[in-house]
Amino acid sequence: MLNSFTSILCLWPVAGTLLLLTSCNGQPGNSAGATTTAEQPFVPADGTPVTSPGAAPVAQMAPATPPMSGALTPDSLHLISPGRAGRLRLGMTEAKLKKVVPTQLLRRTTYLDKGQPLPAYEMLDAQQPSAPATVLHFIGDSVGGFRLRRIRIYDPQYRTAEGIGVGSPFGAARQNLGLTKVRPTPAGFAAVSGQVQMAWVIDPKSLPEKHPEEMNSADIPPAARITGVLLYR
């Protein structure tokens, strides 16, 4: 009966707290046959695992390490992660938005997409009504319905798990979020992280007076300030 087992794991207490692991060949500490599989916290649509510095903590919606010294720590209603900002989710329907956000906090407006007006909302914050509104862009049509396409954040209460958001120095974002190119976006000149589909809008006053359309993130002054966050799909 016992021959059907391919390995035996034996644990004996040694000196009160130590444990001795014996493998099937009788050699202590030999774990050559063991394998472990670590689940990626976020995998983009193309299947490429996230490997950029800081990408995993952002995707997990919880800090693997404490936030940066002096950084604000967001509550659950203001936590930014891939495709999410508090209760907001990219792809959610217009009807779903009105279920999770009180109507009095939403101001309906429009935006242009290739010359076509589409629905948008300016969302006020219940905790800080005077804070800059979060702008929500929807896409679709009246037949199939409209879904949330982009979230533009200007409210400094919204932060990643590392404490990065509006008002943070660009150097902190570059160090923790694995940014690559800096280029024009619908929200302004921003550093883009395509792996997690986020862009970090940079204060144009802190950029070189004459800069190219695309820049490497290493060329942005570390002290440059983030003025907005763009989530897109």
Query: pLDDT tens digit string along 1-16?
Result: 444 434 433 433 433 4
Strand partners, 51: none
Q: What CATH number is given for 41-233 in this structure?
A: 2.60.460.10
Say what the pTM is. 0.68
pLDDT at 62 > cutoff 80 = no
Domain ranges of the chain: 41-233
Highest mean pLDDT range out of 4-13, 37-46, 154-163, 185-194?
Answer: 154-163
What pLDDT is recorded for position 43?
A: 35
What pLDDT is recorded for position 71?
A: 59
| Strands annotated E in 8-159 | 13-14, 18-19, 80-81, 84-85, 88-89, 106-113, 116-123, 134-141, 145-153
Looking at the chain, the whole-number percentage of residues with pLDDT higher than 90 is 47
Average pLDDT over residues 165-183: 86
| Strands annotated E in the chain | 13-14, 18-19, 80-81, 84-85, 88-89, 106-113, 116-123, 134-141, 145-153, 181-185, 188-193, 198-202, 215-216, 226-232
Average pLDDT, the chain: 76
Q: What is the pLDDT of residues 100-118, one digit of tens each?
A: 999 999 999 999 999 999 9
What pLDDT is recorded for position 70?
A: 54
| CA gap 191, 199 in Å, rounded | 5
